[in-house]
Chain A
Amino acid sequence: ETGVTQTPRHLVMGMTNKKSLKCEQHLGHNAMYWYKQSAKKPLELMFVYNFKEQTENNSVPSRFSPECPNSSHLFLHLHTLQPEDSALYLCASSQGTSGGLYNEQFFGPGTRLTVL
């Protein structure tokens, strides 16, 4: 256990559905991240929150909407997704700092998303 939990672990949804992914960290960290991992592609950073402030939106389509209500929780709201959005979605956390976010990251187990 890394101290980062993600729910659900598996999700199958149609293109017209609305669903949310949840991430929770119990490590006292201030930075949280969403990554997308597709087959045979590098890990793609989607969003970064540092002290609840979104510091990066890596050109992610608006059908993905993040929410960070506090430093321990991170959500990814999904709506009108496409089949190519099927992937493993990973949440991570780290010690947030004002100067940089390149400390050790702790990952959750991921949500395997399938869009039909």
Chain B
Amino acid sequence: SQQGEEDPQALSIQEGENATMNCSYKTSINNLQWYRQNSGRGLVHLILIRSNEREKHSGRLRVTLDTSKKSSSLLITASRAADTASYFCATARAIGDTGRRALTFGSGTRLQVQP
């Protein structure tokens, strides 16, 4: 199964409402990152939270991290139609037997914000 799994798979809300997306992971992490992807485009980095941090803000984004539950949440406040996109969490995993790590991405949450 995936290292990072987002929940829900799809979310539809009205403009102005808050959107909350969750991510669960299995192994220890150095950091957890959230990315956004508009349809058919590349991913854009939103926010990075380190394993020793519990909460981080960036504009209308709020990310929390609970390492004891191996979970993170992304909250978008006062959503806008332009927030419509897929949102992915990413965590580091080992690269074979190298001892090094690289990011792996979850399946994403598809957010639809209705105007």
A43 and B105 contact, CB distance less than 8 A: yes
- Report the minimal beta-carbon distance from A27 to chain B, rounded to whole angstroms: 12
Which stretch, B17-25, B60-68, B74-82, B88-96, touches the partner chain A? B88-96
Chain B: interface size category: 20 to 34
- The number of chain A residues touching the other chain, given as a range, is 20 to 34
Q: A104-B33, A105-B45 are in contact. Are A42 and B106 (CB under 8 A)?
A: yes
User: Is B107 in contact with chain A by the CB < 8 A criterion?
Assistant: yes
Q: Mostly helix, strand, loop or mixed at chain B's interface?
A: strand
Docked CA distance A112–B41 (Å): 9
Known contacts A55-B95, A101-B102, A102-B102: A4-B42 contact under CB 8 Å: yes
Q: For residue B104, which residues in chain A have a CB less than 8 angstroms away from its CB?
A: 45
**A2 / chain B contacts, CB cutoff of 8 Å:** 42, 44
- In the complex the two chains form, what is the Cα distance from A104 to B92 in whole Å? 11
Q: Which residues of B contact A110 (CB under 8 A)?
A: 40-42
C-alpha spacing A88/B42, complex, angstroms: 9
Contact partners of A81 in chain B: CB under 8 A: none
